[in-house]
């Protein structure tokens, strides 16, 4: 059984740039995005469902501290109880405060490898970086460690 998820735009844009959006539908179901993320990404797939979070004091508060897509994604994840995929540091911090389970783009790649949906993480990290995804050397090393790819001749 696949895990339900709410997606913010960074993951969708980044995986889309390198042709790996299908990893999301292979790992998660349903895949929800709020209207602001749909507008920001311009993506429309059968497996990608647009759902608005309820208008609430929480949503209004979040809109004052993060961008609209992140605010709607966090509020939707809080409302549904689904895993939230978000990379933005400030958005992740707010989600953690609210005890929303979070995962980032790199975590998705590690999970995909662990579930046999991806052969190796290292080449995908290289493609992401080439496509403009910001990745610290520390996070890259941790990702390779978690993917059990250190010591296989991989470079940082």
Q: What are phi and psi of 129, to 5 degrees?
A: -60, -40
Range name among 88-92, 128-132, 147-151 with the lowest pLDDT average: 147-151
- Name the token pair of 66: 């993060």
pTM confidence score: 0.91
Domains detected in the chain: 3-105 (3.40.50.1010)
Residue 7's pLDDT band (cuts 50, 70, 90): very high
E strands present in 12-145:
28-33, 48-50, 83-85, 102-103
Position 153 pLDDT exceeds 70: no
pLDDT at 90: 95
Residue 1's pLDDT band (cuts 50, 70, 90): confident
What is the tens place of the pLDDT at every residue in 20-34?
999 999 999 999 999
Residues 6+ apart with CB under 8 A from 44: 38
Residue 67's pLDDT band (cuts 50, 70, 90): very high
What is the tens place of the pLDDT at every residue in 127-139?
999 999 999 999 9
């Amino acid at each position: 059984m696949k895990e339900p998820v709410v997606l913010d735009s960074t993951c969708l844009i980044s995986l889309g740039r390198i042709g790996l959006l299908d990893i999301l539908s292979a790992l998660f179901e349903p895949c929800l995005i709020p209207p602001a993320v749909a507008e920001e990404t311009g993506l429309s797939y059968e497996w990608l469902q647009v759902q608005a979070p309820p208008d609430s004091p929480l949503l209004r508060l979040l809109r004052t501290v993060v961008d609209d897509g992140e605010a709607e994604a966090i509020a939707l994840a809080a409302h549904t109880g689904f895993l939230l995929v978000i990379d933005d540091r400030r958005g992740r911090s707010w989600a953690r405060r609210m005890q929303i389970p979070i995962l980032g783009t790199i975590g998705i790649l590690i999970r995909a490898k662990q579930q046999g949906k991806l052969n190796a993480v290292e080449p995908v990290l290289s493609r992401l970086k080439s496509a403009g995804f910001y990745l610290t050397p520390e996070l890259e090393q941790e990702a390779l460690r978690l993917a059990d790819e250190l010591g296989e001749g991989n470079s940082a």
